[in-house]
Amino acid sequence: MISMGSRVWYWVIYSLLLLSKAWGRNVLLIIGDDAGFESEVYNNTAIHTPNLRDLSKRSLIFKNAFTSVSSCSPSRAAIMTGLPQHQNGMYGLHQDMHHFNSFDDVRSLPLILRQAGIRTGIIGKKHIGPESVYPFDFSYTEENSSVLQVGRNITRIKLLVRKFLQSQDQRPFLLYVAFHDPHRCGHSQPQYGAFCEKFGNGDPDMGIMPDWSPQYYTPEQVQVPYFIQDTPSARKDIAAQYTTIGRMDQGIGLVLSELYNAGHENDTLVIFSSDNGIPFPNGRTNLYWSGRAEPLLVSSPYHQKRWGQISQSFASLLDITPTVLDWFSIPYPNYKIFGKSVQLTGKSLLPALQSEQDWTTVFGSQSHHEVTMYYPMRSVQNLQYLLIHNLNFKMPFPIDQDFYVSPTFQDLLNRTVSGQPTSWFKTLHNYYYRDRWELYDRSADISEIKNIAEDPAYQDILKSMQNILQKWQSETSDPWMCAPDGVLEEKLEPQCRPLYNEL
């Protein structure tokens, strides 16, 4: 029998070994809020984003990166755990009446790093809980500050980054900077504009950020993505979005300057991405490409060979946790949730920094956005094929609060009700009402318009994709794996028992 004292010394020695491997290595994780491909890095010539452009010159640029869930809190929980929302328990938005939390036994990235002697910090939007699962040593978030100040005020963000980096604590660190830009704010602080584009711009009652030089765009200048209607209202909405993306870009420049000035230019892994699709039609809350696809830049000072190159390899935000653990040479812990062993289904992205990888598959899982928005979906994309399983397909697809009051959606709504042309690639009817299985060949149908799930020529592909998705759901202990026409009975074989509910 090992004594209590022996066990304590074992963990002390083990932690020191892990820390010795991680010494001299740090991580800066930057996440935008509802940010998309509106940057020069991804060939948007209408917008000016020099700081992202400069970061991309030191990064591997992923062209096929995807969130695992197109909703804020579930995505942030997935980033911080490496587990999809149905496995970590963050089914929907964390705050207020929504009240979603991760399961108590989940071992998150900040928790694992803390136990390995890595210092952790978060500045900006946290939006996940409970605190016991997501503990940070240094924390300035909406839980103890104004999210406008710690998430949009780039001067304040700069000073907080400086405070973190000037600490006397010399341990390796993970610093997570979570911008609140370019999230909509028209439903909560309409005085600042649809995207808070007026906040801090120096106008009367707007305040001022000394480090922000606002950039303004006309509706005629913007590039309208294929999934947004090309109307004056939508263009004006996108122009406001561009201004807040510009603020985030300038904030990223400030953060990187603080990192370099503190002497960490050549020892820090820098990752930039976003949490979910942009808050426009067919975007956020959807598992279509427009809701899942994300910018992803990974910059390593030790992997300069691929700086500025574009990777076609498929990446998922579920890969961030294993990537950070790999960077620090820290193994994923052996533990269980509700008696089931937990294993990461994501992978480290570090091999892609050395050579192109044959990664061709990513998964999606969504259950809620707001608590009233129950529309569970599961998806898998393999190469050009995307399969979406809509479990609640008998009900209309729900619309979230801040998107509903947006100029773009109100424009769609008003045009539909009045019988005017919407200039959109869908109708509200086929947006609301979806088939149970949606299968798209994106090589021939980039807009995902033609559902080929019932096409006899694609039945083998459909069955193969369904099997891949079902296997992943089983590996990740998905409670919805038998829905909507079966019930999960884990102690029986087969586990999915038929309901005979005519589905």
Place of tokens 């318009």: 449
Q: Which of 21, 30, 24, 22 is nearest to 258 (CA)?
A: 30
DSSP state of 433: S
449: part of which helix (H) or strand (E)? none
CA distances from 100 to 35, 79, 220, 280, 316 (A): 23, 16, 41, 24, 23
How many residues in the chain? 503
Q: How far is CA 491 from CA 495, 497, 500, in A?
A: 7, 11, 20
| Cα atoms found within 13 Å of the Cα of residue 485, Cβ hemisphere only | 9
Question: What span, in angstroms and rounded, lies between the C-alpha atoms of 485 and 487?
Answer: 7
With contact defined as beta carbons under 8 Å apart, do 26 and 269 qualify?
yes
Distance separating alpha carbons of residues 38 and 47, to the nearest angstrom: 7
- 146: Cβ–Cβ under 8 A, 6 or more apart, which residues? none
Residue 253, classed as helix, strand or coil, is helix
Residue listed under structure tokens 């406008």:
148
**Residue 313 backbone phi and psi in degrees, to 5:** -60, 140
Q: Which of 366, 381, 358 is nearest to 464 (CA)?
A: 381
Amino acid at 293: A
58 near 302, Cβ under 8 Å? no
Distance CA(6)–CA(484), nearest Å, equals 51
Residue 185 among the catalytic residues: no
* DSSP code per residue over 64-113: EEE-SSSSHHHHHHHHHHSS-HHHHS--S--STTT-----TT---HHHHH
| DSSP class per residue in 328-361 | TT-PPP--EETTEE----S--SGGGGTS-----E
Contacts of 197 by beta carbon, 8 Å cutoff, 6+ apart: 214, 240, 241, 243, 244, 247
Active site residues: 72
